[in-house]
Amino acid sequence: MPRFFRPLTRAVTYTRWLHMLVGAGIALICASVYPGLDSPSFGDWMLIVALPVPLVAAAALVPAMRRAEGLQARLMLVPGQHARVKGGGEDSGISVTPSASWSDRGRTAVWLVLRLEAGCAAVFVTVQCLGTALVMLGGATEPPESSGVLVPLPGQGLTNLLLTPIPVLVLMAVVVVAGRLMTAAARRLLGPSPSERLAALEERTEQLLERTRIARELHDSIGHALTVAVVQAGAARAAADPEFTDRALDAIEETGRAALEDLERVLRVLREDERPASRRPTLADAERLLESARASGAKVDTEVTGPLESVPGPVSREGYRMLQESLTNVLRHSGPVPVRVRIAVDDGVLDMDVRNALPAGTPATGRGGSGLRGIRERATLLGGRATTGPYDGEWQVHVELPLG
């Protein structure tokens, strides 16, 4: 099919034209009251298109009018996912929220007036083109000179019959072009205001942050469980000791159960389940992490000073994840080596330090993967700081988080 005729096969072309025709409804209703539709003169037509203007402009003062117009425009002017149009189903660029400012009301008023005048023009063009086509076909009951058409006709006969498609093609061209122009005007006048764009951007940012947080949660909990399971399984195979194997299996089972609880909690949040999500672990549950590391063969020396129960929930939860990632990093890259963990709560600051010996031959590059980067990002979001890297022949993760 030629590209020129392709828009005529799309439903949105005709819903746009119908949207314009409906816009003239208020003008025709007013005209039926005054000055009347019985053989109106040119001056009467000017009144018909001008008298409803104050009425529609006043209607724009109602905040809900912007929502109503936005919904109509989205439904009739913008192609949906079913339409055979490139980009169909994408963001329409038309707001469906009520007017929140005088600027919104002003743009809505301009849109309503534009829709009124465009609707009147659409009715006029439709009547004229279809009327001209009927006269050319000889279907009109009146002779050409009194049929009301504006285009002078050469007279009835074969010539008019051959020229009949011309007014229909003109109407189709006007339908396509006017529909696209009205859609562009709708996006301009009914589009989101700066405050709405800012709100949408903030909502999008919140969604991205939430996705990042969930990704970190899965990385920390599942990554830790898999690391412990791999280390325990390898150690049990190397030891070939039934008693050690039993302890390793117990550690794998406990760590796996905790990971499943974390996974279920995250999935429950993603499903937006009405049931409350289970409590996220805090530093008060840190002993579970330390025992898991010990069961993997690491010699963990722990020192805790200060009241951990006084640490605010967000800080305590993020501190737990940082400690978890630190221990996972030790087991994954250094194996069962001696580890020193120091946690102190003093002077409104949570200070956490995790150090481990570097195995012989391990290059201390100071570069870390996504886990260590996540520790630094968590600390920054809480207003603290974290340093990771080699220090005095050891690998160190040092975190300072404010409690206030």
Q: Over the stretch 231-289, which tens digit does the pLDDT of each residue have?
A: 777 776 777 677 777 777 777 777 777 777 767 666 665 665 444 444 678 888 888 88
pLDDT band at 131 (very low <50, low <70, confident <90, very high): confident
Per DSSP, the three-state class of 340 is: strand
Instruction: Specify the pLDDT at position 83.
Output: 46
Q: Is the pLDDT of residue 382 over 80?
A: yes
d(C-alpha 277, C-alpha 266), whole Å: 8
Closest Cα to residue 60, out of 45, 70, 50, 51? 70
Ramachandran category for residue 360: left, alpha or beta (phi over 0 → left; psi -120 to 50 → alpha) = beta
Place of tokens 């160190």: 396
Q: Are 354 and 327 in contact (CB under 8 A)?
A: yes
Average pLDDT over residues 101-106: 90
Strands 385-391 and 349-357: unpaired
d(C-alpha 144, C-alpha 141), whole Å: 9
Q: Identify which has the larger pLDDT, 125 or 203.
A: 125
DSSP class of residue 193 equals: P
d(C-alpha 210, C-alpha 218), whole Å: 12
Q: Is the pLDDT of residue 203 over 50?
A: yes
Instruction: Specify the pLDDT at position 144.
Output: 45
Phi and psi at 402, nearest 5°, equal -70, 145
pLDDT band at 151 (very low <50, low <70, confident <90, very high): low
What's the pTM?
0.53
Instruction: Specify the pLDDT at position 251.
Output: 74
Average pLDDT over residues 310-334: 84
Instruction: Specify the pLDDT at position 362.
Output: 56
Per DSSP, the three-state class of 142 is: coil
Q: Is the pLDDT of residue 176 over 80?
A: yes
Phi and psi at 345, nearest 5°, equal -120, 110
Q: Are 214 and 266 in contact (CB under 8 A)?
A: yes
- Centroid of chain to Cα 3: 34
Instruction: Specify the pLDDT at position 161.
Output: 66
Which residues have CB under 8 Å from 170's CB, separation 6+?
129
* Alpha helices, H only, 346-393: 370-381
Which residues have CB under 8 Å from 211's CB, separation 6+?
none
d(C-alpha 319, C-alpha 306), whole Å: 15
Structure tokens at 204: 């999008």
- Centroid of chain to Cα 66: 22
Q: What percent of the chain clears pLDDT 90, i.e. is strictly above it?
A: 23
DSSP class of residue 362 equals: -
pLDDT band at 71 (very low <50, low <70, confident <90, very high): very high
Average pLDDT over residues 138-146: 50
Strands 394-402 and 385-391: antiparallel
The radius of gyration of the chain's CA atoms, rounded to the nearest angstrom, is 36
Instruction: Specify the pLDDT at position 89.
Output: 44
Instruction: Specify the pLDDT at position 259.
Output: 72
pLDDT digits 0-9 by tens, 328-380 = 888 777 777 889 999 999 888 999 999 988 776 555 554 555 678 888 888 88
Residues linked to residue 80 through DSSP beta bridges, in sequence order:
none
Q: Is the pLDDT of residue 229 over 50?
A: yes
d(C-alpha 207, C-alpha 274), whole Å: 19
Average pLDDT over residues 320-326: 86
Average pLDDT over residues 116-121: 93
Q: Is the pLDDT of residue 143 over 60?
A: no
Strands 300-305 and 339-346: parallel
d(C-alpha 387, C-alpha 23), whole Å: 65
Q: Are 89 and 52 in contact (CB under 8 A)?
A: no
Q: Is the pLDDT of residue 135 over 70?
A: yes
Strands 349-357 and 394-402: antiparallel
